[in-house]
Structure 1
């Protein structure tokens, strides 16, 4: 029989949750904890090495922020990949495939075009100007006020987004470990190696984490596929479950994920995330030449195609394995975002250290984004220039201070809903307006400082309004998105006796309820395009009038 999502969520006996907790705990033993601890220790030691033992010390802002512009293609490429394959991707993408189907997989289509535009239209501008901060461009092109707008919007995004990145891996700890204890410990380690070792420490730590993450994914995908019965069986079960869907061509903008929303929306979002994101551009500018920077972008695209595809396929494997006994409905886990770690500990826990290897691979250096603060918020307000040693020390203090703030905000993040949509909605608040401001400067010679400032502010306010409104309606159940059906008919007989067959959603239409305000019902994937176009349009009008 089919029932509504609300009914499915209500029927979670306390005994089932307690049994599941005991069941999972036995898989995460001392070897897993040791593997995770080793990962944290290695990350900390990398910072110690570059701070005290490396031949070239991190005593200048050039060394600390740009790695002395001597970084190699391999570590920079791995760092770029690690920047995008965070815990949000590792846990959120498999859950997305399991819950909503494969349409999100088509986001990869737009990444090739983003790489071309970034490598041949945007990066050359930054290289020619020889700047260390992307927002220095806004000062050169417009004014210091516009530059400050860009910096403040960037800071706002990071303060909202970084807590998600820090919190999300904690979802992997479904073994009874206190979330509020684990998160600060991991964050402290991130602060430690970031403040001590600068960009080089972050890049090499990212490289190590990427290797561990890739290894854990490969093992999980291969072993999981074998235990399901092979690739054909995985695909067959997902096809039967209605999860194979790549070309939903409906143009309705209120459909959460269609071919158009994921390709168009992701194009703008990734263009903003890659081409004007300080953390990304900083790594590319750390390369000695523009040609080498373009190579790293190409490697980034290939790496993302591989890792994102593995995450997507992993979601199909998980559904194939739990096709007849959904862990969320059964009460074994609380959120679909916990499916991957639960699957690993449920089916692969007999492989010593693999759960710990996976969890350690989830963590990434979220705090690396905040090094822009010295250049854009501190230096312009000093009465006299700092020495290089003083500036380097101040930068480290800033990163540590902001890191502590982010730890506090983590405890707000756990109240949010679906990972992919929450992260996308929050990121779009500033991604679209910022991209629009940069486009005004690079591609519209007639754009004025007043136009850029007003366009960025009004566009940012508009996206904030619809993003907050949408998330509020979702939280209150006014907006609900249809999920793919699941079943518990294959669970234990005593439990099925009370609950024979169940699905997470009824055969409801694809479009969200009409009761919600139209703008709140627009797919979150369109927030960035709307923000970009809005900033450009308003900016051009104001520029013409002024």
Structure 2
């Protein structure tokens, strides 16, 4: 694929996004209301479908197909837990947040515990989301750097600046209302890339529907369940982790919940969450199937596998499947990256404006909100450039994983708030929330020694939340 083809694809893609932004942006005084809440007018089926792309993200788009060689379909155990987590979101969190008419979900912590707890929850979200969004956009920027910007000797920081500027331009006016519609387009492109690649491989290997199914089902890489309790992919570890990570990183995440709260009423929001969960599960099965077929294709043609599993899909799509499939793949990776980055930017702006600055949808200043939006755009740019300066993907990945520790305090705060009626000393909440990730990290490092060979995976989140709950119980309000 030539650089001119790549730039043409990117240009046309952003023209469509700008058109969506133009038609979904409110004028005048209604801008902030629309930016934060989309005027509570989003169609639940658009939100549900669009959230698939934002949740999959560029990390999933690249990583899930590559992981099947090592972990098989074990990731599906995690997804089974996700489904239970979405039930909790639909029937516990959605009614709670709608009953309080929240803009930012961390306003609940202010009502329940006090302003410091609210700001603490918001700051933990901002830290997690900034690092997470920057990491996902960093991966996409590397692909675009190789596919286009290197051909013109454009430095990486310039290419990142251009990408973030484009995202800022189509989100700064429309906000969440624009995101609901752009997510729909981006989900379509992301799923189209996976389905078309599967079709391309099947056609090249001479597989019909029946033999395609048997090739995937009979592969050793399609193993789902692991019942070894010491294994990192032990079923109950994955299932429980999937459930609580979904509750934490979706139900207690402003990025995701802001979209749910744009529906007209709680019933439509619940329908949205359950529909999204079903489509998301099916989408994951598609990407796992794609992973099996990518390895089958590489084996059939004796193609040397890249050293990193994450590079498998990009390597084959850009070099072996033909120009059209390469174009579809490029659209998919762009959509996957921007669907998570643009919504993260909007959610960060909302949380900071509402929770830190005390703004709301009716009295907020459009200028102040736009300046905050611009500030977070620049912050994402700085974090991505810092990631690149590490020049070590494993370091960047570790930073991304470390950001996950910040969801433990959020889970602990909301759990304690919802399931107890006890008050706490608001001034001490932030110290408890800072201490719990540190203790969790120390426990994780020494778990094999302390727990007879047991090694934590995603479920370290529960330890983190448990420490937070214990700490909150020790600081009752006098």
TM-score by length of structure 2 reads 0.86
- Tell whether the 8 Å contact from 1:58 to 1:198 is kept in structure 2 after alignment: no
How far the C-alpha of 1:274 sits from its partner, in A, is 1.8
1:409 aligns with 2:383: yes
Structure number, greater radius of gyration = 1
Equivalent position of 1:504 in the other structure: none
Among 372, 378, 382, which residue is 2:357 paired with? 378
1:123 aligns with 2:94: yes
1:433 aligns with 2:404: no
- Tell whether the 8 Å contact from 2:32 to 2:361 is kept in structure 1 after alignment: no
1:246 aligns with 2:235: no
Which whole-Å CA distance do the structure 2 matches of 1:344 and 1:455 have between them? 47
1:226 aligns with 2:203: yes
Distance 1:200 1:237, change over 3 A: closer
Which whole-Å CA distance do the structure 1 matches of 2:112 and 2:353 have between them? 20
- Tell whether the 8 Å contact from 1:454 to 1:542 is kept in structure 2 after alignment: no
- Tell whether the 8 Å contact from 2:40 to 2:263 is kept in structure 1 after alignment: yes
- Tell whether the 8 Å contact from 2:97 to 2:105 is kept in structure 1 after alignment: yes
Q: How does 1:339-378 map to 2 (within 5 A)?
A: 339-351=312-324, 353-365=327-339, 366=341, 367-370=345-348, 371-378=350-357
Q: How does 1:207-356 map to 2 (within 5 A)?
A: 207-230=184-207, 232=211, 236=215, 242-252=220-230, 255-323=231-299, 330=304, 333=306, 335-351=308-324, 353-356=327-330
Which whole-Å CA distance do the structure 1 matches of 2:8 and 2:397 have between them? 33
Count of paired positions: 461
Q: Deviations over 1:476-508 (max 9, x none)?
A: xxxxxxxxxxxxxxxxxxxxxxxxxxxxxxxxx
How far the C-alpha of 1:444 sits from its partner, in A, is 1.2
Q: How does 1:46-57 map to 2 (within 5 A)?
A: 46-51=20-25
- Tell whether the 8 Å contact from 1:91 to 1:338 is kept in structure 2 after alignment: yes
Among 192, 195, 202, which residue is 2:179 paired with? 202
Among 527, 532, 538, which residue is 2:465 paired with? 532
Equivalent position of 1:16 in the other structure: none
Among 47, 52, 65, which residue is 1:94 paired with? 65
Q: Deviations over 1:381-400 (max 9, x none)?
A: xxxx9984x62221121111
Structure 1 residues 351-360 or 268-277, which shifts more? 351-360
Q: Deviations over 1:26-46 (max 9, x none)?
A: x35644442232112222333
1:44 aligns with 2:6: no
- Tell whether the 8 Å contact from 1:96 to 1:420 is kept in structure 2 after alignment: no
Which whole-Å CA distance do the structure 2 matches of 1:420 and 1:310 have between them? 28
TM-score by length of structure 1 reads 0.76
Q: Deviations over 1:403-448 (max 9, x none)?
A: 1111121134355546997587234211121011111000011252
Matched residue of 2:102: which SS? coil
Matched residue of 1:458: which SS? helix
- Tell whether the 8 Å contact from 2:36 to 2:361 is kept in structure 1 after alignment: no
Distance 1:133 1:386, change over 3 A: closer
Bigger fraction of residues in helix: 2
Distance 1:194 1:238, change over 3 A: same
How far the C-alpha of 1:154 sits from its partner, in A, is 1.0
Equivalent position of 2:153 in the other structure: none
Q: Deviations over 1:27-68 (max 9, x none)?
A: 3564444223211222233333334xx5x5574432220011
Unaligned runs of 5+ in 1: 1-26, 471-511
Equivalent position of 2:439 in the other structure: 462
Structure 1 residues 84-93 or 336-345, which shifts more? 336-345
Which whole-Å CA distance do the structure 2 matches of 1:438 and 1:354 have between them? 41
Which whole-Å CA distance do the structure 1 matches of 2:290 and 2:469 have between them? 39
Matched residue of 1:71: which SS? coil
How far the C-alpha of 1:130 sits from its partner, in A, is 1.0
Which whole-Å CA distance do the structure 2 matches of 1:151 and 1:411 have between them? 24
RMSD (Å), alpha carbons: 3.2
Which whole-Å CA distance do the structure 2 matches of 1:520 and 1:192 have between them? 51
Distance 1:289 1:41, change over 3 A: same
- Tell whether the 8 Å contact from 2:81 to 2:243 is kept in structure 1 after alignment: yes
Distance 1:67 1:278, change over 3 A: same
How far the C-alpha of 1:181 sits from its partner, in A, is 4.0
Which whole-Å CA distance do the structure 2 matches of 1:292 and 1:323 have between them? 47
Which whole-Å CA distance do the structure 2 matches of 1:151 and 1:39 have between them? 33
Which whole-Å CA distance do the structure 1 matches of 2:431 and 2:353 have between them? 25
- Tell whether the 8 Å contact from 1:92 to 1:419 is kept in structure 2 after alignment: no
How far the C-alpha of 1:115 sits from its partner, in A, is 1.7
Matched residue of 2:273: which SS? helix
Which whole-Å CA distance do the structure 2 matches of 1:401 and 1:454 have between them? 27
Matched residue of 2:264: which SS? coil
1:65 aligns with 2:36: yes
